[in-house]
């Protein structure tokens, strides 16, 4: 299998790109919703775990956005 360099785009289908974009939006929306719940949590450990969940969702969304930026659609 050929190694990709950082400058080479990853060719993907339109369907895959849309799926990736949808996953990013879902993660970001989930993180926003979960962050809004933080003030409602009483236990410090629950708040800590909720903050960890939000951070993990945002990290995953960021990584997927980096992947998305390195993609290009298959030529028609």
pLDDT tens profile 1-20:
566 566 788 999 999 999 99
Residue 45's pLDDT is: 97
Q: What is the 3-state secondary structure (H, E, C) of the chain?
A: CCCCCCCCCEEECHHHHHHHHHHHHHHHHHHHHHHHCHHHCCCHHHHHHHHHHHHHHHHHHHHHHHHHHCEEECCC
Which pTM value belongs to this model?
Answer: 0.85
| pLDDT, average across residues 22-27 | 98
Residue 3's pLDDT is: 64
Residue 67's pLDDT is: 94
Q: Is the pLDDT of residue 44 over 90?
A: yes
């Amino acid at each position: 299998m050929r190694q990709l360099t950082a400058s080479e785009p990853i060719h993907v289908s339109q369907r895959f790109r849309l799926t990736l974009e949808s996953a990013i939006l879902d993660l970001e929306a989930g993180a926003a919703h979960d962050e809004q719940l933080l003030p409602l949590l009483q236990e410090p450990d629950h708040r800590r775990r909720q903050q960890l969940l939000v951070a993990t969702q945002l990290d995953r969304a960021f990584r997927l956005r980096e992947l998305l930026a390195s993609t290009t659609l298959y030529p028609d």
